[in-house]
Amino acid sequence: MASKVLRAAVLAAGLLVAQGAQAQSYVRADCQGLVGVSPNRYDTPEHERWYKRFWTGQCDHLMLCVPGSPNWNDIVGKLLVKGGPSERAALLPKACRLGQLIGLEWSREKNVRKINTADLKAFNTALENTPDTLDGVAKVEASARAKLAGSR
């Protein structure tokens, strides 16, 4: 009996992991293990679709959506090239988690979110213009966290 319960629990856990991995399939492969998967993180199904837009640039029938770049998958790639091989191990998890932090907030309803499209543009400019890639990511993260801590 205990064996059947254990087997059922393992199967259920495996299905949850598979569903989570599938839900994050739009996140670049090297970021997938670094951004947490939580089924309760989205306010609405549209929030999840905007979050996907943030990572991929694909609109998926979203109203008033402009597809393309920049999107976070591309930004992570540019940061890794800019940082070079010597910074990759430190930079990749920071860039992926920063994308999750910013993207989850930006993709929320306009009247709720604390990070808007103008902020995304400013963050991207800061990442492009800061010579030290790790420093640029740290500064953008600090700015994003300050916005999240402040009131609307």
Q: What is the pLDDT of residue 150?
A: 87
pLDDT digits (tens, 9 = 90+) for 127-143: 999 999 999 999 999 99
**pTM metric for this prediction:** 0.82
Q: What is the pLDDT of residue 60?
A: 87
What letter would DSSP give residue 42?
Answer: -
How far is 108 from 48, CA to CA, in rounded Å?
8
Residue ranges making up the domain that contains 41: 2-149
Q: What is the pLDDT of residue 53?
A: 96
How far is 7 from 136, CA to CA, in rounded Å?
47
Q: What is the pLDDT of residue 41?
A: 80
Contact 90, 107 (CB under 8 A): no
Find all residues with CB under 8 Å of 95, minimum gap 6, and list them. Answer: 31, 75, 76, 79, 80, 137
pLDDT tens track of the chain, all 152 residues?
A: 544 443 433 333 343 334 444 447 899 999 998 987 665 688 999 999 999 999 999 998 899 999 998 899 999 999 999 999 999 999 999 999 999 999 999 999 999 999 999 999 999 999 999 999 999 999 999 999 999 998 55
- CA 130 to chain CA centroid, nearest Å: 21
Query: How many distinct structural domains can be found in the chain?
Result: 1
